[in-house]
Amino acid sequence: LQRRKRQSQNVARSSALKPFLKDLLTIPNTLSIFRVFLAPFLAFFWFEFEWLEMALAVGVIVGVTDLLDGVLARKLNQVTDLGGLIDQLGDLVFEAVALIVAVVAGYLWYGVLIIYLFREFTVMVIRAYVVGKGGSLPSSVLGKAKSSFLQYAFFVFFLGVLMIKRD
């Protein structure tokens, strides 16, 4: 009896995993996952090698893949809740890494980083609570605008630092 129960649980897990993997392994979600893992290289190139051009290139690649994943998700009809979460995670990781670099390098007051992290943590907790209660809390236009603004601001900031350091 125990053996059948375990087999039944394994089948249930397996069947629950298939839709997750199907959602996870779409082209847009793969781009978002790539962004999550690429973003920390901004700090790595900036601090480990002082290779500012490569750090800037990482930021550009992150920005382009952020744009592409959304466009492809809509075009390929692959918009999923999981994709939305991974996209937000990619934004959060990149923005946090870029702010940390700016603070540690001495270009930005650390309070900005604390305010940013507090805001993101609060939104994450509220979103988890709402989802846990069976609701959904999709990204707002303001949240998307914030992420776009920060990506452009980081690009201009890091390009400016690069140009100053070259002279």
Residues 14-38 have pLDDT tens digits of: 666 777 677 778 899 999 999 999 9
Q: For residue 11, what pLDDT is reported?
A: 56
Parts of the chain with a pLDDT under 70: 1-2, 4-16, 20
Q: Give one word for 79, left, alpha or beta, with left for phi > 0 and alpha for psi -120 to 50.
A: beta
- C-alpha distances in angstroms, 82 versus 32, 76, 85, 137, 138? 11, 15, 5, 13, 11
The DSSP secondary-structure symbol of 45 reads I
Tokens 């690649």 sit on residue: 61
Question: Measured between alpha carbons, how far is 33 from 112 in angstroms, rounded to an integer?
Answer: 26
Q: For residue 16, what pLDDT is reported?
A: 67
